[in-house]
Amino acid sequence: MGNGVREGPVEFQRDVEPVTARIPAEDNQEKKKVLNSLMSGALAGAVAKTAVAPLDRTKIMFQGDSSGLCPQLFLEAYRLIYHTYLNEGFWSLWRGNSATMVRVIPYAAIQFCAHEEYKQILGNYYGFQGKALTPFPRFIAGSLAGTTAAMLTYPLDMVRARMAVTPKEMYSSIVHVFIRISREEGLKTLYRGFTPTILGVIPYAGLSFFTYETLKKVHAGKAGK
């Protein structure tokens, strides 16, 4: 009997060690998944927006032109880009891109990360754990991800737009824009126009991620995965 009492705890320790060892590993895996989503989204958004920055700047210059739309729009856009290159230099085509990155990087990172989280939540709710979502939850996950990202980064977008249409002398930096708007116009100004923006984001983000997930599912099916 003495030996039985002494050996009991030893056997119990061996039984529970494998169970407790799995919990930190699962937590680390989940943290890595979230971090990967954040980094991938941020990098994808930065690369995509930087690539089209000259076109984006040209669009803003056209929007500020009071002469109206030109019948030969694409030709005029090319001429404007070339004229800017000749008179202001190659890197001037990316002027203001740093302010854009301040908004795009967190927006894309939050959107991609939120999309993965919403997919998991909706999958658990509808009973699709480990499986692809059906079309409607797929659309909802994308819409919620876009809405979440827009809500958290909308002030940055407002500041970017303000810097793009005002002279350099008015604002020395992004922080300066925030300070002046908060003092002179109030914090509510940072969310001016938020409602129509969200009304556009909901279908746009929903359809974007819906298309992405659908094409991914089709490709996986053809690849036999």
Q: What is the mean pLDDT of residues 142-160?
A: 90
- Looking at every residue in the chain, the average pLDDT score rounds to 78
Position 20 in a domain: no
Tokens 């060892």: give the residue.
Answer: 21
Position 159 in a domain: yes
- Judge residue 95's burial from the number of C-beta atoms within 10 Å of its C-beta, 0-12 exposed, 13-18 middle, 19 or more buried: middle
Position 160 in a domain: yes
| Cα 194 from Cα 161, distance rounded (Å) | 13
Position 1 in a domain: no
Q: What is the pTM of this model?
A: 0.67
Q: Domain of 172: which CATH number?
A: 1.50.40.10
pLDDT in tens, 73-120: 667 777 777 777 777 778 777 777 777 788 888 999 999 999 989 998
Q: What is the mean pLDDT of residues 15-19?
A: 48
Are the CB atoms for 116 and 40 separated by under 8 Å?
Answer: no
Domain limits at 213? 38-223
Give the ranges where the chain is alpha helix by DSSP (H).
2-51, 53-63, 73-88, 97-126, 135-165, 174-184, 194-223
- Assess whether pLDDT exceeds 60 at residue 36: yes
pLDDT in tens, 155-179: 888 887 777 667 666 777 788 888 8
pLDDT of residue 147: 96
> Residue 25's pLDDT band (boundaries 50, 70, 90)?
low
Spatial CA neighbour of 164 closest among 82, 63, 45, 50: 63
Position 31 in a domain: no
Spatial CA neighbour of 109 closest among 45, 166, 47: 45
Angle in degrees, 0-180, between the axes of helices 194-223 and 135-165, rounded to the nearest 10? 130
Whole-Å CA distances, 171 to 20, 83, 162: 56, 26, 9
pLDDT of residue 38: 77
pLDDT of residue 19: 46
Q: Which are the contacts of 123, defined by CB distance < 8 A and separation ≥ 6?
A: 129, 130, 131, 133, 137
Least confident among 30-34, 55-59, 105-109, 197-201: 30-34
Least confident among 3-7, 44-48, 142-146, 173-177: 3-7
pLDDT of residue 172: 73
Position 7 in a domain: no
CA dihedral 5, 9, 12, 14 (to 10 degrees): -120
pLDDT in tens, 37-68: 778 778 887 888 888 878 777 776 666 555 55
Position 17 in a domain: no
Position 122 in a domain: yes
Domain count, the chain: 1
- Assess whether pLDDT exceeds 60 at residue 1: no
